[in-house]
Amino acid sequence: MRDSPNPTAALQSPAALAGDTAAPTKVRWKIFLMMLMLISINYVDRASLSVAMPMISKEFELSPAWQGLLLSGFFWTYAFMQIPGGMLADRFGPRKVIAFSAIGWGFFQGIAGLCTGGVSLLLTRLGLGAAEAPIYPAGGKLNALWMTKTERGRGATLLDGGAPLGSALGALIIAGLISEMGSWRTSFVVAGVGTVIVGLWAYSYIRNHPHEHPMVNQAEVDHIEASHASELAEEPATTSGNALHFLGYRSVWGMFFGWMCFNALFYGLLTWMPTYLSKQYGFDIKQMGGAVFIMFFAGFVGELVGGWVADKWIAFGGAQSTVLRSLFGFSSIMATVAIYSVTKFTDPVIVVVLLSVTLFFLRWCGLFWCVPSILAVRSRIGFLGGFMNLGGNCAGIGVPIAVGLIVQATGSYYMALMLFAAAGVGLFICSTMLISYKKLPV
């Protein structure tokens, strides 16, 4: 599928046929609000196991190491399918990939409620990971196709904002369902069915290009395509047939390892914080759900703040490389200081506040989803987004297992928190020193 819009295709839209001269419609923002909802549901489904783990581990008699294995299992197939998922988005367009991904992961989430032991639950997590894998590369592709240069930061953070928002809502929703129904199984089934329904809705509304959408008027098409035309004029005239040539550039590896460090900290908090609060501070299911909601909702607010600051700064003339390097550097320092400080306090209220501060600043780095579209020509954005997310989810594979082994060996979470702080330092180095934030040669 070609990525650059056909210049005559816009004439086929209903708005164009009507000779529309009205103000630009805002369909692109509605699509990204839908993506925010879809990614939020994505993380509700991911977080469900973390929230339910105290009950599941008791029912299935799981050791901390086995719990870490289960929490990691999702990321094995999720990481493996990142690059294929991105290539599918490049080939077939984001619309089909996003919709079928959602329907697939809803299925695996639902059948997880039927599991009778650790092995069967692990198998459903492997299926969940494979089905969810294409959603972010396809969303990054959608951002490049629908948003202008001065809107892409907000597009990226709306896309990625579903991670902290879904984690926050997942804590409340799953904890609430478990509390009301007395069953983690029912909560999994309800979440799965809801995901399938939203996947069907996404297919009915999302389109691959603005000129294909029946609700987009000509003014919005012109607004988007004028920006894209100026960007395309700066791209190389030809594209290499082999996308692997990108792996020869330092910026690509900086992006890969920067996103890995980001996710080492984020997924560490996502997978282990519910158990940490339960074991270390005696939180019951309702207290745990409320605390995790506060922490991750702070991350959602931080994500929106970071995207707004980036777009406004660029709109007022800030150089793209300066803006991103500055925001990534500042936010990674603040997140690292906050997570390190958790080790210095024992008051659970202060601990939750510090974890909330960590996530508020960490989630500014959701802007990383702008990086593939900055570095790559448009026909390779899906591939590069998949490669970046592969790095992030290698951390998703390793960190939950590492934390489980650390806790089992030491009986303490101190070294796990130090691991998270080290990831923050790595994020600072990669995002400020290794990435050029300029289009790469092809």
Please give the single-letter amino acid code of residue 306: G
Mean pLDDT for the stretch of residues 222-241: 72
What are the distances in angstroms from CA 412 to CA 11, 111, 277, 339, 397? 64, 34, 12, 16, 21
Task: Mean pLDDT check: name the lowest of 228-237, 254-263, 316-325, 331-340.
Answer: 228-237
Q: Who has greater pLDDT, 438 or 13? A: 438
pLDDT at 307 over 90: no
Mean pLDDT for the stretch of residues 273-295: 83
Domain layout of the chain by residue ranges: 26-235+243-434
DSSP state of 214: T
Is the whole-model pTM more than 0.85?
no
> Mapping DSSP to helix (H, G, I), strand (E, B) and coil, where does residue 104 land?
helix
Q: What letters, b where the CB count within 10 A reaches 16 and e where it falls short, cover 399-409?
A: bbbbbbebbee
344 exposure class (CB count in 10 Å sphere: 0-12, 13-18, 19+):
exposed
| Dist. CA 440–CA 254, nearest whole Å | 13
Query: What is the model's pLDDT at position 366?
Result: 84
Give me the architecture of the 26-235+243-434 domain, per CATH: Up-down Bundle (1.20)
| Dist. CA 103–CA 13, nearest whole Å | 28
Mean pLDDT for the stretch of residues 74-102: 88
Mean pLDDT for the stretch of residues 149-163: 82
- Arithmetic mean of pLDDT over the chain: 85
Tokens of 92: 């077939």
Mean pLDDT for the stretch of residues 411-425: 93
Is residue 211 within 8 A of residue 221, CB to CB? The reply is: yes
Is residue 423 within 8 A of residue 264, CB to CB? The reply is: yes
- Give the alpha-carbon dihedral of 154, 96, 86, 393, to 10 degrees: 70
Query: What is the model's pLDDT at position 12?
Result: 46
